[in-house]
Structure 1
Amino acid sequence: MRAMQVTELGQPLSLREVPTPEPGLGQVQVKVHTCGLNFGDLLVIKGTYQEKPQLPATIGMELCGTITAVGEGVTDFARGQRVAAYCGFGALADYAAIPAAVCVPIPDKMPAEDAAAFLITYGTSHVALDYKAHLQPGERLLVLGASGGVGLTAVELGKLMGAEVIAVARGAAKLDVARAMGADHLIDSDTDDIRSMVKELGGADVVYDPIGGDQFKAALRACNPEARLIPLGFASGEVPQIPANHLLVKNLTVIGFYWGGYTRVNPKVLTDSFKVLTEWYVQGKIKPHVSHVLPLEQANEALDLLRARKATGKVVVSIN
C-alpha cells in the first residue's frame, strides 16, 4: 500500500510502498478515505512533538474510513462499518491498523471530509470549554488563533454554548471566516492591540489559546477577576512564562490541557464529548469548515498550507 512517511526529521514526507498492516489484538484494519491534518503533524515532522515515533514513520493523527478487518477481541465493530478515529499516527496511508478503542461510529449523513475534520478540532474545543473551563452562558470568551482548525471550532461552540465571543486572527479574510462562525467581536492580531480592545469590550472571562507568545501575555492582562485561561498549543513558537503574581491578584486560573492525553487517562471524557458533538452535527447546529481537500500525493503541499497559515479551519487529505 501507499503511505506518506517521515524518513528524515525536518524534511518533506516521502510517498512509499509499505506492507499493508494487519489488525492485532484489539485492533481493526481501516481502509482510509480521508485524513485530517493537524498542527501536531508539523511537530512530528520537526521531531518536537510530545510523542516521537521511530523512523520511517507514517504520520496522520485523524482519519475517516471503513473497517475492512477485525482483530481478535474486538466485538463492538464489524467489517463494512464507517468510523472516525484519533489514531495519533498512521492515517496518511491507504490502510491503517488501529486500536478499536479509538474508533467512533459516524452518522450516515456525515461525509468523509467532515468526519476527518471533526474529532480533534471539535473534541479539543468542546472538552476545553465545557469539561475544563466550565464556560457559562453570558460569559465573554476570547479565542486566539480564531481562524485555525481548533480556533474556529472554539468560536462556533462558544457561541452555541451562549458565550459572547471575541475572535482574534490575522487579516480581514480570516476574521470574516470567524464572523461567519458566530464571533461577536473581531480583533486583527496584525494591527490591533489585543489587550486594550478586549478590556474595552469588558474583559475576558475565558481565554482559549492555541498560539502562546505575546498573544497569551496580552490576553492574560485583559482578563477579568476569576477568569480561566486554557493554553493548548504554541503555534507562535514561544511557550509563555506565566507570572504567578498576576494570577494571585485577579484570582486567575490557568488550565493545562492536552486533548489526546485523555485517550489514556480518562477516555470516557472524549466519548461523552463526541456523543454531544455528534448530536449537534445531526441537528445541524455545527458544521466543520474545510478550506482545502488535496490527494495523498499532495500531502506535502497540504502540510505547507498549515505551515504558512494559509488555511482556515481544516485541511483534509483524500485517499482513494
Structure 2
Amino acid sequence: MAEFYDNSIFWVEVDKIRPNPYQPRKEFDEDKISNLADSIRQYGVLQPLVVTRHEVEKEEGGLSVDYELIAGERRLRASKTAGLSQVPVIIRTVEEGDKVKLELAIIENLQREDLNPIDRAKAFKQLASEFNLKHKEIGKKIGKSREYVTNSVRLLTMPEDIQDALAGGKITEGHARPIMMLVDKPEEQRTLYKEIVHNKLTVREAEAIARRIAVERSRKKELRLKPEIIELEKEFTEQLGTRVLIQPRQVGGKLTIEFFNEEDLRSILEKINTNPETEASGFIGKVASIVNRKEEEESEKKEKPVDDRPEEEIEKLEDEEDIYSLKNFSV
C-alpha cells in the first residue's frame, strides 16, 4: 500500500488537510498568496501537495480519515482563497515517528518551496540539531554543496533586525555576505546595513566598505589607539551619520570623514555648519561636550600622590600639626 501511495496522485478535500506543525516557513506574503490564487483559478494546482494520511476508528464503526500537510502550505492557502474544494496530493507513508516526519517536511519544503534565506537557514539548523546531520549530508539531501548549507546557517549570526530585513527582502543575500564579515561587531554590522539601505549600495560597494572596516580594525590594533580616541571616533560617527576616522600623530593628527555622494556630503556639511547663537546644542557644541567629558574623566582617573614615608613618621607629623593648629587655641 505504501508504494501505491508514494507513486499516485489523489484528490482530497481541502477541509480534511491539517497544517504542517513543522512548517519551516514562518511568514506568508498575503499579496503573493492572492496572486497564486489567481493563477490557480486560471490553471489549477499544477504541483501536488505532499501529505501524510491518518486513520482513526470511529466509536460507531468505520474509519475517519484526515491528512497532515508536509509540503505545500502556500498552495493550500491559495487553493482555499481560490474557492477550491479539492486539491491534488501525493501521500507519503511515515511509520517511524515525528522525527522522520520533521525531516521529510523540512526537506520537501527546501526542495519545493521558495523559502526566504532566513527560513531556509533555520530549516538547515533544525536538521543539523534535530538529527545530528552534517552540513555535507544536508546538502546531499537537497542537491546543494556543503558550503551552500554552511553559508546559509551563518546568516543566523547576524542581529535579528538585520535577519528580519533579509527575510523581508529589504536587502539581498549578497548584501548579507559583507555584513557577516563583521560578525563579531554587531554595531558595525548595523552601521553597514543602514548604509546599504539608505544609500542603495551594490553588493560590491558593501563588500568594499566591509573590507575597509576590517582594515581599520587592524589599524587600531597595530597603532593601539587609546580608548578615548576610539570612543571619539564612535561619537563623531553617530553625530554625523557616517564613518569618521581619527589618526593621532606626535603633534596634532588627521580627521577623515567619509561620504558616498554629493547629497551625503551636503548633509554632513549641514550638520557641521552651526548657528553661533545655538552652537551649544549643535554639532560643534556636542563635540566640545564630548571632549570636555573625556578630559574630566581623565582627570578623575589621576591618582593622588603616594606617600611612601613610614607610618610612624606620618603620625608624628600629624600630631605636631594638631599641636600648632588654631583649633587648639582660644582667644
TM-score of the aligned structures, taking structure 1 as reference length: 0.27
Q: Which has the higher helix share?
A: 2
Structure showing greater Rg? 2
Higher strand share: 1
Normalising by structure 2, we get a TM-score of 0.26
